[in-house]
Chain A
Amino acid sequence: MNFTASKQPENCLLGPESDSQRTLSPYVTGTSVVALKYKDGILMAADMGGSYGSTLRYKSVERMKPIGKHSLLGASGEISDFQEILKYLDELILYDNMWDDGNSLGPKEVHNYLTRVMYNRRNKFNPLWNSLVLGGVKKGEKYLGTVSMIGVNFEDNHVATGFGNHLARPILRQEWHENLSFEDGVKLLEKCMRVLLYRDRSAINKLQIAKITEEGMTISQPYSLKTYWEFSAFENPTQGAVGSW
C-alpha cells in the first residue's frame, strides 16, 4: 500500500505512478567537458568533481570513459545517469564483440545510438540528465559529437558541455585550427579549463585529459592547473564598485 502522497496531480497525463519516479532534478553533477579534434584524433578534458548542489562533494569522479575500441565518452550532469549510460553501452559493445565478425561499432554509431536513447527518454519525460561528448577515430576518420539530455545532437571540430559552451567555445573558435599537434591541443584545452576553473563555481582544480587516436585511448593521471591570483584587479576587487564588498 502506498502511504506517501502522490507527486502527480489528479489530471496528470504523465502515465501511472509506480515505485520509481521520473528524474525531476539532478543530485550529484559533473560540470563542463571540453573536447577538440587534433591531428591524430580527439582530445577531451574534464575535471574530476562531483558536486552535490553547491557543495563540491566528490573529488575523484572519472567523467570520461572509453567505449569499445574506437570511442571516448565524456559526460556532464547527473553522475548516476552517466553510470547508467555506461551500463547500456557496455551491453551494446558486448553484443557487438560477440558477433566476432570483423565489424565494430565506431564513434558515429555509438553517438547515434546515444542520441536515440536520450531522445526516447526525453519523450517519456524521464530524461537521463546528462550532456554527453562522444569522440573517436575509426579507419582514419576522426569523429566528435555531442548529445544533450533532450536529444539534441550534432558534430563539430570542437564541442563542450554546460559552462564550457559559454567560456571555452569562444576561445576554441578563435584558436582552433586543423591539424593541431598534440602539445598545442593540450595547451588549448588547458587554456579553456583554466578559464572554467576561474569562472565556473562547480569546477575543481583536478582534471584529466584523455586522448583517443587510431591506436587507442589514453587518459592522463589527474593533475592541477597553475593559477594566478595576483592580478591587480583582484587585489582591490571592490575598488570600482560602490556599495560592494
Chain B
Amino acid sequence: MFRNQYDTDVTTWSPAGRLFQVEYAMEAVKQGSAAIGLRSKTHVVLGCVNKANSELSSHQKKIFKVDDHIGVAIAGLTADGRVLSRYMRNECINYSFTYESPLPVGRLVVQLADKAQVCTQRSWKRPYGVGLLVAGLDESGAHLYYNCPSGNYFEYQAFAIGSRSQAAKTYLERRFESFRDASRDDLVKDALMAIRETLQGETLKSSVCTVAVVGVGEPFHILDQGTVQQMIDAFEIVAEQEGPAAEPDTDAGQEASAEPEPEQGAAAGEGVAPMDI
C-alpha cells in the first residue's frame, strides 16, 4: 500500500470505494505478533506468541479472560486491545447481573463490531488498531470469532492473525476438518503446532507462547507455563521418533523433568525405542 491523497481521514472515501485509514488499521494487526484460535464442538483454544522486548522485561499480555465462558486473544495495538477487553468484561458483567445468565458470545461480538464501526465513521476518531480472536461458549456450542478494525466479524473453525500467521493458517487449513470432534488435549496440541509454524524455525518453548482454553465444564483459563511445556515436550518427542503410535511412557516420563529445552527429547529420539524411565 502506498500513500495517496485519500488516506488522511477515515471519513474520506477513495474513488475506488476504499477507506484507507481502515485498511491501514488492519495493517497494524498484521504487524502484531501472532495469535491463533481453533475450536471443536465443545472446546475453544487460543494461543499466541509472546515475545518480551528484552530479557529484563515481562511479556506483553495478549490473552484476556472476559468472563468464565469468554476469552480473547489480540494482535496489533495491545493498548487498544486492553481497552476493548475492558469493554467486553463490562458488558458481560452487566448482562450477568441483570439476567443471571452468561452473555451469548455472538451478541458480545456484534456489540464489539458495532463499537469498531463507529470509529470508522467519525472524523474525530481513529479505528481500533487491534484484531481480536474471541473464543466463547453459549447455548449453541463453542464459537470462535474474529473481530476486525473495520467493524466486520466472522466466525471461524480455526484462524490465525498477526505476523507470519499465514504459516499457521496453512497448517490449520490442512487439519481443520479434524478439529470438530477432536479431544481437548488434541486441540491444545494443534494450537501449539500452529504457533510453532509462526515461529519459523525458532524453538517452541513455553516462555514464548501463551495458551488458553475454554470448554464445556471448563471455564476460560490460561494454561500455566509448566503444563504448556509438558505438552510441547510430549509431542516434540513423538514427532522426533516418528513412531507409529505415541509412547505412553514418554508422556509419563516428562512429568519428572522440568527442562524448557526440547534437546533432551532430540537426543533420546535418535532412533531409540521407548525411554526406560
Residues of A within 8 A of B (CB): 99, 101-103, 105-106, 108-109, 112-113, 116, 139
Bitwise interface map of B from 94 to 110 toward A, beta carbon under 8 Å scored 1, else 0: 00011111001011001
Cβ–Cβ contact B106 & A113, under 8 A: no
Q: Which of A103, A113, A116, A139 makes the CB contact (< 8 A) with B104?
A: A103
Cβ–Cβ contact B98 & A103, under 8 A: no
Report the interface size class on chain B. 10 to 19
Cβ–Cβ contact B98 & A113, under 8 A: yes
Complex Cα distance A105/B102, Å?
Answer: 11
Cβ–Cβ contact B100 & A102, under 8 A: no
**B172-203 interface with A by 8 A CB criterion:** none
Contacts of A108 in B (CB 8 A): 99-101
Q: Which of B98, B104, B107, B139 makes the CB contact (< 8 A) with A112?
A: B98
Contacts of B110 in A (CB 8 A): 99, 101
Contacts of A113 in B (CB 8 A): 98-99
Other than the given A103-B104, A108-B99, 8 more pairs (CB < 8 A) read: A99-B106, A101-B104, A102-B106, A103-B140, A105-B99, A109-B100, A112-B101, A116-B97
A–B pairs, 25, beta carbons within 8 Å: A99-B106, A99-B107, A99-B110, A101-B104, A101-B106, A101-B107, A101-B110, A102-B139, A102-B140, A103-B104, A103-B106, A103-B107, A103-B138, A103-B139, A106-B101, A108-B99, A109-B99, A109-B100, A112-B98, A112-B99, A112-B101, A113-B99, A116-B97, A116-B98, A139-B139
Cβ–Cβ contact A109 & B101, under 8 A: yes
Min CB distance B123 to A, Å, is 30
**B56-109 interface with A by 8 A CB criterion:** 97-101, 104, 106-107
Cβ–Cβ contact A112 & B100, under 8 A: yes
Complex Cα distance A113/B99, Å?
Answer: 5
Complex Cα distance A103/B103, Å?
Answer: 10
Contacts of A105 in B (CB 8 A): 99
Complex Cα distance A139/B110, Å?
Answer: 25
Min CB distance A96 to B, Å, is 10
